[in-house]
Each structure stands twice: as C-alpha cells, then as structure tokens.
Structure 1
C-alpha cells in the first residue's frame, strides 16, 4: 500500500515520503512569495532544515529563518519572531518543526499585523473576534515530529512567562493553508522524542474519544488514531528508519489534533501546568499521568473504553485497556511517575489551581474539583 495522498480535510495536506520537495509549490498555493521559516533552536542547524532552506531558495523565495524558540514558547519568543518578520518584509510563514516550533510560527503569522497584545486573543468565549482577520499572514506547515498535530490546528499553546501558565490562543485563520507531511523528516527523531510525541498523539485521541461532548466525526477519527499508535509507535520507537511506521504516526498525530475539537480532559489539564512550572516534555508528561487519569475517569468511561478495547484488539475491557497503556509506556521507557520524570518539590496547591483554570477541564468526563484534582495529582507522584 502506497502511503502517499492529497487530503483537503481539515486543510490541504500533501502526505508522503519526499514531498518536502514540493515546498515551493506549497508556498505558491498559499500565496507566499517571501516566507520566514520559523523553527526551534534544536532544529535550526540540522541537515533537514538546511536542505529545506535550499529548496526554498531554489524556488526563488529567499532564505530567511527565525529559531529563537524555547521548548515551551513564550510571549517573548512571539515578540522576537514578529520583529524579524516585520523587519524582513515577509508575507507568510513556513512553520517547521515539532509542537513548539509550529505553535510559535503560527503566532508570528497571527500577531505580525495585530495592534492588540497577545493575551487579548486567549481562547475564552469569542475573544478571537478581537483580531483583525484581514492581516493574518498565510502559513505553510511542515511537521518534523509526530505528536502535537499542531500543523492541522487552529490554536497555539504559549506560556505566559510571568504567571507560568500555558495559554491557548485561538483563531480559525491560523489553520495552515497547506501542510506537507513527509515522514522522512521524522527519521532523525531520537527514540525518547519518538516515544513522547507519539504518546502525545495517543493522549489527544484518547481524551477526545472519552470527552462527553457530541462530535461523532471526531469520535471516529480518535478511535482509528489510537489504533495507529498502538500498531505503529512501538515499530517507530524500535527502528527510526521504518518509513511506514513513521508515516502512520504522522497520520495519527494529525488525527489527534483534528479529533480534539471534541475536547480534551484531565491529562492535559494536569500536564499543562506541570510543563509550564517544571519544563517537562509535554507528550511524555501526558504519558506519565495517563493511567492515574484513566482510574480517575473510570466511572464515566468504563463502557466506552470497553468498546475501544474491542476495536483495538485488546482483551479485558477497561482493565485490559488500562494495562495496555502501562505496557506501552514501559516498552517506550516512559518514566513511571512524575517523580521519576524529574518533578521535584511540586507546589501541589498551585498546580491544582492552575489545572482547574485550564481550558481542557471542560472536556473531562468526570467533573474536576479542588478535592478530587488534588488527590489525582498526588497519585501521579
């Protein structure tokens, strides 16, 4: 079976090995003549980035890069990127990298023409309508990991450096115009990052599937996304050059981000403040807290996860699904708890308060309170 296709859902996606060669055509399709490639510090000097810049230059689109992006990008990174974008007279952004690079790139394209401060556009009510939609720059997204699915998302997660809170900035027009999903770009991912990003995709699918909100399209996508992770993440972890496994994991990542329009839950509500305060890897943190959250939500999701287990070929209903998650984590060498992950001297009360403010709370199947969230967080250590 050839893993190559063009999709127009949820946006235009050019999927397949070697398709980074179409970056010039993708920019033309998005109406970009002078792009700024935005990526993170770790990717900036890697061969895949240099060769992509060569392709952009060969297409007559210049050779501009911004890479001052932290692992949990902040408003300061956004401001620095916007300055480079404006000073360079750019007319669009190529978002290149993992979740942090993609999220930051989308915010550069979004904020380059705005006059209001970033936090005015937080994903609260209809705050997104405050933005001047006519000056949002077009985006071409090129993921180099298989996890966040930010390449098909209409939001970015940015950390407020003063309050240590992760904030979600939303606007429909930061959905990239064109996406290139080339699994060859993920071959160099170290096993640890393959595991963490892959479990991020699984967490997106799992939480969307369990969310009580009504969205049957997302429900179906989430279920198949979980199956792809189950079948292909161990293969990608064991052999980073397995292009079929890499491709299927890229699909799972995009599916997770498409599915979580239905909602996220306690996994993300806990993971966001831990990442903001303790600078842990987001996907790995999701994996670490996944089993405690499953137990927390068991009364509300037992029947639903029994159905999922049947589809995934897992015996034993809810308990079988729970055990499978533990075995998957162990096989991927995920730390057993937050203590092993390196979270030292946590301020439980502050983390709980932050978790209960997180937008993901509303999608959890069990209502989260100070009391039960405190118990849940303590169970993660």
Structure 2
C-alpha cells in the first residue's frame, strides 16, 4: 500500500516533437500575451538553426531578442534584460537555451513587475534570494536546447559579481511557484544543434534528477511513475551522446529528460538530494560545470546512501534495469558512456586542500533535508565521499 502523500503541481503546457516551436505564438496568446522578448545566450542567439524556427513560431509576436545570458547567470544580465523588455514594450518572455538562459529569464519576469528594483537588489544582497512580487508575472515559454532538466522548475540560480550591484560576490537564486513556465517546448531538432559534448555534460545533471526523485522524501507514486520511466529511457538512450556513439536518439533522450523532472520541484517538496547538494558545493568553490560535478560524485554519493539506508533500492534497481547490488555500477556506466570525468583530481581548479570547504558547503545545503529518514551526514562523512571521488 502506498504511503500517504500530497501532490501539488501545476505543470506548464507541454509541446513535444520536431517543429513544436511553431506553436509559440499560439501558447502565448492563450496566456493573453502577444509581444515576446526572446532571452538567450550569445551562441544560441547566433545559431540560425535554432533561432529561425523560434522567430517563425512567434511571427508578429516577436518583440525582440536579448542574447546576452552567460553560464554565470548574473543578476546584472537580468537587470539589462528587463531594460530591453521595457523598451520593446514586451508582455512575455521566451527563454531559449540552457539552464542559465532559463534562470535569467525567470529573473527578468520577476523584475518586470518589481516597482523598486534597487530595494529588490538590496534584499538579494542581504538574503541571496531575489524577491518575487505578489503580482501577475509576464507569461514565460521555455525552449530548452540542453538536457539539465531545469525547464519545468519554478526556481533557479542567480549570481552577482559586479561591485556596483553588490559589494561582494554572491551566489544566490530565486524561487516562487509563479515562475513556473506557461509552456515548455521540447523539439529534438533544436536540441540536436547543440554540440554533443555539451549535451553529454548537461545530461548527467538531468539523469540524476530521476535518480534523486526516487530516493528522496518527496517521492510519490506520481513521481515514481515518471522518474522510473524517465531513468529507463535515459539509460537506454544517453550512450548515444558518447564520444564513440553512432546514431543519437534525440527524441528518446528528450522524453527521458522531460519525465525525470516532472513534479520534482513542487510547493510541497523537492525531489533533489545529496548528488545535487554536492553539485552546489563543488560549483561554489570551483568553475566545474554541474554536469561534470554530478558525473564525478553521483556514484560515490549513492554508495554512501546505500550504506546508510535502503534508499528505495528496489525502485532504483527497477528503473536502472539491474539487481539491487548493481545500482552504483549502473549509474557509473551511464556516466562512462558519456565520456565524462570520473575523478575530482582531474578538475583543473579543485585541489585536495579545498575538500573541507566543499564538504562544509554541501553540509549547509538545504537539499540534505530531503534525504531518507535516519540519514544525517556530518561534514566528515561528506568529506569522506569527496575523498572517495578524489
């Protein structure tokens, strides 16, 4: 009999398939919008194979393109973006690209309805969280071109490095259910334009969302169904992104990424856990990308969890298609098929002397609250996992 649970989740409208972005203007119109600013990065913004279908899908509803986002997800970029939003008289946002563009686009939406932006920046500097006004936000559509699985979320990272904005560098974010996208477009033809090495790295981040949705305390029969199916699809298809792969099933990979993140972040809980906490800890102290951080730490984090508790190993094993004693090896096999790094010592700016600080940052991460009952790692425990990954 399933445990008692509460599942509150408002999904974006989902359009899936080749050419699906042709419906951009229709979905925005259904939300009452008719003049959209596209928010993206420089590389994607210059890629006509992506932008031409997006422009065509918006048609007369295209207000302009802001192609200035960077992997750093800077608050200063969002402030520049909202200025462009206002000059273009836009009423909605279309985020195109990877997680950084989606996160900056969320910040643009929040800032667009913020009356006192200076006060909002001050709040961010103090709390490391950009406030989201209790007001109707501009509708936002998302068109992911990577596989990190941040598309259906209502939160994201937002950092500050400009001393004119905050006195000291800040690693923060924003989160509010109102930031849930209005519509999400999964077009395998657009994803296929991203270099496979970039997709491979981001895919490990997405894959781990499915694994963590299963063992964290926020799991429900609903998320079990989507996560198990998603992990299965990714286990089957992700090797097609590896350096020695032939044909790549982009539609199958996108299906898996969509499923593993469905309902993982909700007002009543989050399905992210130890692997993502290690990812945050590592990126707080180095320039390593989240996908690589996950690739290196995931097998060791899971080995630690399985030593401490059952961690729903029967469901994990079912999703991965292995016996319960093969879970760690199966996750490592997915990582290895993608050609991703396996040791922290191979990351340029991670030194063995920094492991204490990384362990402390990981220990302070709120995602550890989502670990199974009875699992309460100490800083020394986390340092031990990092040593295993070294």
TM-score by length of 2: 0.85
Look up the match of 1:171: 176
Question: Residues of 1 paired with 2:219 and 2:191: CA distance?
Answer: 34
Select which of 117, 120, 124 maps to 1:117.
120
**Post-superposition offset of 1:97:** 0.8
In 1, the alpha carbon distance for the partners of 2:329 and 2:10 equals 34
Are 1:364 and 2:368 matched, yes or no?
no
Query: Which sections of structure 2, spanning at least 5 residues, go unmatched?
Result: 1-8
Deviations 1:58-111, CA, capped at 9 Å, x for gaps: x21235111221213122222221222123221110011111111111111122
Q: Evaluate the alpha carbon distance shift between residue 197 and residue 328 of structure 1 in structure 2; reply closer, same or farther with a 3 A threshold.
A: same
Deviations 1:2-38 (A, max 9, x none): xxxxxx9722111111112222222222322211100
Contact 1:165 1:273 survives alignment (8 Å): no
SS at match of 1:37: strand
Give me the whole-angstrom Cα distance separating, in 1, the residues matched to 2:357 and 2:311.
Answer: 33
- Encode CA deviations 1:131-160: one digit per residue, 9 max, x unaligned: 433241110111112222x22111112234
Shift of 1:239: 5.7
User: 1:30·1:140 contact (CA, 8 Å) conserved in 2?
Assistant: no
**Equivalences for 1:152-163 in 2 at 5 Å?**
152-161=152-161
CA distance in 2, matches of 1:95, 1:119: 26
Matched position secondary structure for 2:312: helix
1:217 alignment counterpart? 222
Distance change >3 Å, CA 138–CA 314, structure 1 → 2: same
Aligned equivalents of 1:314, 1:119: Cα separation in 2? 50
Q: Paired residue for 2:4?
A: none
Structure 2 equivalent of residue 42 of structure 1: 43
Aligned residues: 364
Structure 2 residue 346 is the aligned partner of structure 1 residue 340:
yes
TM-score by length of 1: 0.86
Ranges in structure 1 where 5+ consecutive residues have no aligned partner? 1-7
Matched, 1:329 2:335: yes
Instruction: Determine the C-alpha separation between the residues in 2 that align with 1:367 and 1:68.
Output: 41
Distance 2:253 2:343 in 1: 25
Name 2:202's counterpart in structure 1.
Answer: 197
Paired position in structure 2 for 1:73: 73
Partner-residue secondary structure (3-state), 1:284: helix
Question: Residues 164 and 192 of structure 1: is their aligned pair in 2 closer, same or farther, counting only changes over 3 Å?
Answer: farther
Helix, strand or coil: the match of 1:67?
strand
Residue 251 (1) aligns with residue 258 (2): no
Q: Which residue of 2 aligns with 1:309?
A: 317
1:282 aligned to which of 274, 282, 290: 290
Q: Deviations over 1:224-278 (max 9, x none)?
A: 2111110111124466864xx2122222222232243342112111111322332
Q: 2:383 aligns with which of 364, 374, 379?
A: 374
SS at match of 1:68: strand
* Aligned residues of 2:197 and 2:241 also touching (Cα < 8 A): no
Greater share of helix residues, 1 or 2?
Answer: 1
